């Protein structure tokens, strides 16, 4: 009796691999084909007409099933990269770790990959098990096994409008469960970024991470330190622009993953003023995402790191440093600390500095200085940044609103605002007239010479 009970429990916990995938019809999965990129459909049609299998895969299928419009579309096929490239006029092979083909249609790129086999003993890994090169082609079933989460291992044929599901991803999606394919610890060692992805999708689906998938995360979180910083940056950007950034940040801390992404996150969120500023920045980011507006990575990371920059800036000023040099040094210190873990693109770092360095310049509203500021490429972003500072009582809200009105005004309106500013009475002791230079004293010898010549 007890033996039978144990066997039943084992059967429920250890699911056998299915030889035949589920084939889910349009009536069951509910995907609206009108939301599918016509270029992705074209890629599938072309490959199928040439005798190959081809499916839309991954995140696009996941989003289509839950009723979201995907941002981009990927295709998977049994054609090799060279075979794919030969079928399209504008296509190029990219990648080292992954060889992919980018099929270009104007502004849209359809990323097309060949079915791959899962990790094997013969594949190149580092000392921690992370896969360094992954170009072993395989079957569709093998391709599904090597994908990370069940909800991302779905294949949609836009011609027959059928979803192929090898790992019960559709039921997991309906139940909002994030579950790793295979042994979670092994999969995290192969690619530690999968831990970040599990958190992001659980938040995005308003669901939960399955217990076995969650269990190894805290123990293996340090493996993120072995991942190239550029990949961590890309994943962090996805986390922070998924529309639920603050919840993602909280979940990173809950699972002990923050130290491998934003090393200063704990310090920032322990400071009430810093926490208020970051929560406001993430809240506004989420609002932009939800209404379909773009988000600048430069602005986002400038906001996340500002509490640390401001704290360092204030400390340096208190030690006697001049305000502008102190701000420059504070920015250097914070960015250097972040660069070790997070490869912030140099262009983004430059834009972040521009946003930060304009903040003290907003305090001096002189006509020539105003026109010079207005010509700066990051002027509008810096004004928006000042609005957040005003909302957190860092700067005067009236001053912040004046700059916002100036940014929103047309040329004539700006001229009127600056003219009106020039005509405002100045407070006593704040006159802006140029001070007279003191007269240079004549040298003693010259004065004596002049006196003798007169006499």
DSSP string, 345-401: -HHHHHHHHHHHHHHHHTT---HHHHHHHHTSTTHHHHHHHHHHHHHTTSS-HHHHH
Asked if 72 is an active-site residue, the reply is yes
Asked if 22 is an active-site residue, the reply is no
- Which helix (H) or strand (E) is 109 found in, with range? strand 108-114
Asked if 416 is an active-site residue, the reply is no
Catalytic pick among 72, 266, 332, 416: 72
Q: Hey, how many other C-beta atoms are within 10 angstroms of the C-beta on 108?
A: 13
Catalytic pick among 148, 191, 286, 384: 148
Per DSSP, what are the bridge partners of residue 24? Answer: 163
Query: Whole-angstrom Cα distance, residue 240 to residue 230?
Result: 15
Q: How far apart, in Å, do the first and last CA atoms of the chain sit?
A: 133
Query: Whole-angstrom Cα distance, residue 162 to residue 157?
Result: 5
Structure token pair of residue 216: 């190894």
Catalytic pick among 74, 172, 191, 384: 74
DSSP string, 192-219: THHHHHHHHHHHHTT-EE-HHHHTTHHH
Query: Whole-angstrom Cα distance, residue 313 to residue 329?
Result: 8
| Burial (CB count <10 Å: 0-12, 13-18, 19+), residue 222 | middle
203 close to 250: Cβ distance less than 8 angstroms? no
Instruction: Report the catalytic residues.
Output: 72, 74, 148
């Amino acid at each position: 009796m007890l033996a039978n009970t144990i066997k039943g429990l084992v059967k429920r916990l250890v699911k056998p691999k299915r030889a035949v995938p589920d084939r889910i019809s349009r009536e069951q999965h509910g995907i609206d084909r009108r939301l599918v990129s016509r270029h992705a459909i074209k890629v599938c049609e072309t490959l199928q007409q040439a005798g190959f299998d081809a499916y839309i895969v991954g995140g696009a299928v996941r989003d289509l099933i839950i009723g979201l419009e995907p941002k981009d579309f990927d295709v998977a096929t049994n054609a090799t990269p060279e075979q794919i490239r030969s079928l399209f006029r504008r296509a190029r092979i990219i990648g080292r770790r992954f060889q992919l083909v980018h099929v270009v249609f104007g502004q849209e790129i359809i990323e097309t990959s060949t079915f791959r086999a899962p990790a094997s003993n013969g594949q190149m890994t580092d000392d921690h098990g992370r896969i360094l090169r992954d170009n072993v082609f395989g079957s569709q079933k093998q391709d599904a096994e090597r994908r990370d989460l069940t909800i991302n291992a779905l294949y949609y044929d836009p011609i027959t409008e059928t979803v192929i599901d090898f790992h019960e991803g559709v039921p997991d999606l309906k139940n909002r469960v994030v579950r790793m394919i295979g042994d979670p610890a092994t999969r995290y060692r192969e690619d530690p970024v999968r831990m970040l992805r599990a958190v992001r999708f659980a938040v995005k689906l308003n669901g939960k991470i399955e217990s076995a998938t969650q269990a190894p995360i805290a123990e293996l979180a340090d493996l993120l330190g072995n991942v190239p910083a550029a990949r961590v940056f890309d994943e962090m950007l996805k986390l922070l622009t998924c529309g639920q950034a603050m919840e993602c940040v909280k979940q990173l801390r809950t699972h002990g993953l923050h130290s491998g992404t934003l090393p200063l996150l704990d310090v920032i969120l322990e400071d009430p003023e810093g926490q208020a500023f970051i929560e406001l920045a993430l809240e506004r980011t989420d609002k932009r995402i939800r209404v379909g507006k773009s988000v600048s990575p430069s602005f986002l990371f400038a906001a996340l790191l500002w509490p640390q920059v401001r704290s360092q800036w204030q400390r340096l000023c208190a030690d006697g440093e001049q305000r502008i040099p102190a701000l420059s040094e504070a920015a250097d210190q914070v960015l250097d600390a972040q660069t070790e873990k997070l490869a912030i693109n140099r262009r983004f770092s430059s834009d972040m500095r521009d946003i930060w360095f304009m903040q003290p310049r907003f305090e001096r509203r002189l006509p020539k200085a105003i026109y010079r500021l207005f010509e700066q490429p990051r002027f509008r972003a810096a004004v928006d940044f000042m609005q957040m500072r005003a909302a957190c009582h860092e700067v005067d809200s009236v001053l912040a609103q004046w700059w916002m009105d100036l940014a929103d005004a047309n040329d004539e309106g700006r001229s009127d605002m600056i003219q009106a500013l020039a005509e405002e009475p100045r407070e006593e002791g704040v006159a802006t007239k140029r001070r007279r230079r003191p007269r240079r004293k004549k040298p003693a010898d010259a004065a004596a010479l002049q006196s003798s010549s007169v006499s």
